[in-house]
């Protein structure tokens, strides 16, 4: 999905890029990006400095196009904090070439395999954590409702926001053409409340997004019933495509892969 790049202006200048970062109910920022041929300096967030923290400190910043595109990768947005990489002492000895999302992803896979963090939590007598890793879209006018719910029921921050609008039909991910949505991305872990099931927060988010006429990306954990899933992801179009390209049903379908985890 592309960022909203239609013609917009701010103080008389054309806005080329736009996104937002929410640190809490009373701390939210909109970032407006502009191309320029000259700059008094350029910032570097591939070493000791942390990009998402700069949003709270700086009202104006300059990055090369390459560094702007990759501005989130050094800290995997903000998830590097889970490995201590945002601690200044750890950050100095952590090689710059290893400050990147693919390295962190491998560490997460290792932890999931051996349950190291879960074992430490049990040893310390702490409640287990739930991975809450999702991208969702809601219509822009419903975003305040979603954020109010999220702050109250999940309480994780920051949250990344990106406006988008489709200019053509996407049958398998049906968003209303020409309508403005906001993608909300949140990636981290939350302690599971006493007496709740392990997927408590993810199920809660899934229900609220559906109630707000939104959708969620299918890389995240999903719990839809089969009929409900195909209502949201255009089962009729999918079955036509699958009948054309996999007529013998040799491959698993989207529901089995994304919800049943097969």
203-237 pLDDT, tens digit per residue, is 999 999 999 999 999 998 899 999 999 999 999 99
Return the pLDDT at 2: 35
Return the pLDDT at 133: 96
Alpha-carbon torsion, ordered 159, 116, 89, 20, to 10 deg: -10
3-class secondary structure, 136? strand
Return the pLDDT at 156: 95
Return the pLDDT at 208: 98
Distance set, CA 202 to CA 57, 114, 118, 131 (Å): 32, 23, 18, 8
Give alpha helix (H) positions in 94-234: 101-114, 116-124, 143-153, 200-211, 226-232
Return the pLDDT at 12: 61
Residue ranges, the chain, pLDDT below 70? 1-13
Return the pLDDT at 187: 96
Is the Cβ–Cβ distance between 203 and 259 less than 8 Å? Answer: no
Of the chain, the percentage scoring pLDDT greater than 70 comes to: 95
Burial 59-82 (b: 16+ CB within 10 A, else e): eebebeeebbebbbbbbbbbbbeb
Report d(CA 155, CA 147) in Å as an integer: 10
pLDDT tens-digit map of 65-90: 999 999 999 999 999 999 999 999 99
Return the pLDDT at 8: 59
Task: State how beta strands 17-24 and 159-165 pair.
Answer: antiparallel
pTM for this predicted structure: 0.90
Report d(CA 150, CA 158) in Å as an integer: 11
């Amino acid at each position: 999905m592309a960022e909203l790049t239609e013609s917009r202006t701010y103080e008389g200048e054309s806005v080329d890029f736009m996104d937002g970062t929410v640190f809490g109910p009373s701390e939210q920022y909109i970032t407006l990006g502009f191309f320029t041929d000259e700059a008094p300096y350029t910032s570097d967030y591939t070493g000791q400095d942390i990009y998402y923290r700069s949003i709270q400190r700086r009202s104006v910043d300059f990055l090369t196009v390459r560094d702007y595109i990759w501005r989130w990768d050094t800290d995997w947005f903000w998830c590097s904090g889970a490995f201590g990489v945002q601690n200044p002492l750890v950050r100095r000895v952590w090689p710059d070439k290893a400050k990147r999302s693919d390295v962190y992803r491998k560490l997460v896979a290792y932890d999931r395999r051996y349950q190291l963090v879960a074992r430490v939590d049990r040893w310390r007598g702490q409640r287990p954590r739930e991975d809450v890793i999702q991208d969702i879209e809601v219509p822009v006018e419903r975003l305040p409702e979603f954020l109010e719910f999220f702050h109250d029921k999940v309480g994780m921050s920051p949250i990344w926001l990106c406006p988008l609008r489709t200019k053509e039909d996407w049958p398998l991910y049906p968003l209303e053409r020409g309508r403005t949505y906001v993608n909300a991305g949140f990636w981290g872990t939350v302690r599971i409340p006493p007496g709740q099931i392990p997927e408590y927060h993810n199920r809660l988010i899934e229900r609220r997004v559906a109630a707000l006429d939104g959708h969620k990306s299918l890389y995240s954990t999903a719990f839809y019933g089969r009929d409900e899933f195909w209502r949201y992801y255009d089962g009729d179009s999918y079955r036509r495509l699958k009948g054309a390209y996999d007529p013998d049903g040799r491959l698993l379908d989207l529901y089995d892969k994304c919800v049943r985890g097969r």
